[in-house]
């Protein structure tokens, strides 16, 4: 099957096709916030209008492709060029066992630097048609610009498979994310379903955190402490290879404030100074953990990372009546041991001039899934069974 045919399936089969229009604009601000967010699920915060507006303020406005009917917006997707110097967006590293033009330019779909993407799109009878139009338009842009194709990374598996069914995209697993379903009892409710050893470990970690003199506070970031917050987050990111420093993080936080995106901060203080923190974002009934910052000069084994990113947020989410804590793609083994389920993430790939070898794609996906089965076993969500 070719990567994507030149006209929608509705036109090929002769089925009725209502008039749809496709637009390409600069910046998410060109589209009404309420129309946009009506298409965004709770799990898709990093494609919400306000988050994307913050990125536009911080990094410059990106292109936005949209599909419209007479009734309004049906589907939309930000477009960007990826970041070849960041391994989180390095196609050659993702798919080095599948022959493809990975070193060439691609049109990337989804929020910039997002590790969870879903295409904002209407549900119901118009969904498939709107997604087809959107993906065909993206493929057309890639051809016009001489790019190798289109890639939508970090999609939940069901979303990637939907695009494969609609227009023949190749689905390639490349990452996984950790998420916790929040029980009414919060952390105590979550641990009630774990074994005795796990419960003992969690209690020991919380006790060690307290013994080191940490005091937990919840609230918004005080503007007077924003520089300290940016410093600690940049320090943590640098520890894992990021070259974007404190000034970059300050710019991101200022842009979020301008866009009306106000994080919830959970902070560990010692002697009135911030020792560590986690910034989380509430969207619908989900709580998204995004940034962790730490003063590594305090090298006590106090488990502040897990207290601030897992234990405290689980209780906060339960108190707020939220259903899910979303913990992104890092430290999967540690998060799994603390009650998270591990869900597969895939890229949908449309090449401009050919298709990927389906045998190589299947082999890649099976190897990726098998590796996660060996390492994470019972912590995997049922979605992995499609490849095991």
Q: With bands split at pLDDT 50, 70 and 90, how would you rate the model's confidence at 299?
A: confident
Give the model confidence (pLDDT) of 146-157 as tens digits. Answer: 999 999 999 999
- Residue 133 has a pLDDT of 97
40 has pLDDT over 50? yes
Q: Which residue has the tokens 């793609």?
A: 329
Residue 19, CA distances (Å) to 15, 75, 76, 77, 133 in order: 13, 14, 17, 20, 11
DSSP annotation of 222: P
Residue 12: is its pLDDT beyond 50?
no
Average of per-residue pLDDT across 231-248: 92
Q: Provide CB contacts within 8 A for 141, sequence distance 6+.
A: 24, 65, 79, 107, 147
pLDDT tens string 142-191: 999 999 999 999 999 999 999 999 999 999 999 999 999 999 999 999 99
Q: Which residues, 6 or more positions from 76, have their beta carbon under 8 angstroms from its beta carbon?
A: 31, 36, 39, 64, 65, 66, 67, 119, 120, 121, 134
In this predicted structure, the answer to whether residue 107 has a pLDDT above a threshold of 70 is yes
With cut-offs at 50, 70 and 90, classify the pLDDT of residue 240.
Answer: confident
In angstroms, the CA 260 to CA 197 distance is: 43
pLDDT at 18: 60
Q: What is the reported pLDDT for 215?
A: 96
Neighbour-count burial of 360, counting CB atoms closer than 10 A to its CB (0-12 exposed, 13-18 middle, 19+ buried)? middle
The predicted model gives 362-380 an average pLDDT of 97
C-alpha distances out from residue 322 to 18, 42, 284, Å? 39, 11, 8
Q: Which two tokens stand for residue 189?
A: 């409710």
Average pLDDT score over the chain: 93
Sketch out the chain's domains with CATH numbers: 9-176+343-387 (3.40.630.30), 183-322 (3.40.630.30)
Residue corresponding to tokens 């979020």: 256
And the tokens for 66? 């949209």
Share above pLDDT 90 across residues of the chain, in percent, rounded to a whole number? 89
Lay out the sheet containing 72-80: strands in order across.
21-26, 63-69, 72-80, 107-109, 149-156, 341-351, 170-181, 324-326, 286-294, 273-283, 264-270, 215-219
pLDDT at residue 11 in the model: 36
CA distance 184 to 193: 13
């Amino acid at each position: 099957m070719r990567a994507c045919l030149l006209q929608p399936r509705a036109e090929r089969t002769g089925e009725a096709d209502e008039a749809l229009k496709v637009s390409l604009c600069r910046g998410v601000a060109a589209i009404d916030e309420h129309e946009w967010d009506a298409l965004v699920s709770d799990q898709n915060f990093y494609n919400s209008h306000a988050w994307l507006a913050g990125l536009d303020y911080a990094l410059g406005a990106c292109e936005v492709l949209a599909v419209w009917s007479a009734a309004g917006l049906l589907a939309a997707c930000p477009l960007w060029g990826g970041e070849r110097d960041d391994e989180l967006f390095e196609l050659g590293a993702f798919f080095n066992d599948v022959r493809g033009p990975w070193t060439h330019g691609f049109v990337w779909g989804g929020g910039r630097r997002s590790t969870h993407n879903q295409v904002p799109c209407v549900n119901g009878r118009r969904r498939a048609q709107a997604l087809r139009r959107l993906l065909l338009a993206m493929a057309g842009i890639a051809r016009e610009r001489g790019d190798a194709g289109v890639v939508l990374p970090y999609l939940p598996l069901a979303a990637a498979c939907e695009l494969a069914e609609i227009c023949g995209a190749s689905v390639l697993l490349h990452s996984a994310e950790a998420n916790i379903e929040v029980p009414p009892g919060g952390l105590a409710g979550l641990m009630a379903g774990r074994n005795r050893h796990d419960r003992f470990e969690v209690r020991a970690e919380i006790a060690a955190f307290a013994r080191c003199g940490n005091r937990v506070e919840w609230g918004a970031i005080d503007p007077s402490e924003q520089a300290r917050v940016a410093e600690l987050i940049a320090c943590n990111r640098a520890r894992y290879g990021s070259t974007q420093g404190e000034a970059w993080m300050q710019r991101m936080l200022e842009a979020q404030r301008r866009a009306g995106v106000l994080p919830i901060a959970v902070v560990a203080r010692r002697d009135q100074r911030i020792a560590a923190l986690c910034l989380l974002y509430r969207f619908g009934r989900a709580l998204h953990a995004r940034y962790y910052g730490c003063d590594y000069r305090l090298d006590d084994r106090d488990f502040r990372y897990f207290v601030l990113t897992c234990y405290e947020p689980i209780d906060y989410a339960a108190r707020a009546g939220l259903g899910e804590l979303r913990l992104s793609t890092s430290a999967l083994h540690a998060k799994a041991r603390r009650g998270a389920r591990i869900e597969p993430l895939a890229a949908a790939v449309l090449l401009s001039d050919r298709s990927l070898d389906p045998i190589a794609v299947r082999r890649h996906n099976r190897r990726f899934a098998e590796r996660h089965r060996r390492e994470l076993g019972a912590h995997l969500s049922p979605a992995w069974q499609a490849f095991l």
